[in-house]
Amino acid sequence: MIANVDPGFAMLSTMRYVLGCLLAGAIGLLVLKSSDLHSRFGEPTAETFNVGPRISLTVQYGSDRLVCQALIDPPQPLLHGEVEAPYMSSEEVSKIVEEIAPEEVRGKELGRIITNGGCNQFTIVEYDNVVITRSTHNCLLCSRTAKCEQPFGLSVMRAPGTIAHLSGNAV
């Protein structure tokens, strides 16, 4: 005996099944802990830490499990759009840089490059053991209702906006 099945019903049933499987998989992800992932997949090659107010530190490890790159930036979701990230305090970023790459570990300063473009300054400082790249926003941030101009139309001042990237040199 051959039964006639409505193709629309069959497609709807298949879609419900697939959606149910995806939902069950997503729910399974929600109950995973960091320790579950570590035991299942081993040590991570990169990690992100919350290190201050609106500041995250993402590190990437080398094969020797030592940090080979670090990025200090505002926390952002993995899938983020073109939303402008909030600025971070330049002083707070400097403290974090000093904590993860103290001067005595950096070695002798070998060179420095500073590039200015509009409100942004990009600085690269190379040391014996590390390279520190830093991007700083140096303009006054204004609202539409606030008067932001300084005398003679100048609006440049130090504002809290910075991103730092550190990477180790191959020795």
- 95-153 pLDDT, tens digit per residue, is 999 999 999 999 999 999 999 888 888 999 999 999 999 988 877 666 555 555 443 33
- 61-76 pLDDT, tens digit per residue, is 999 999 999 999 988 8
Predicted TM-score (pTM) of this structure: 0.65
Do 95 and 79 contact (CB within 8 A), yes or no? no
Do 46 and 62 contact (CB within 8 A), yes or no? no
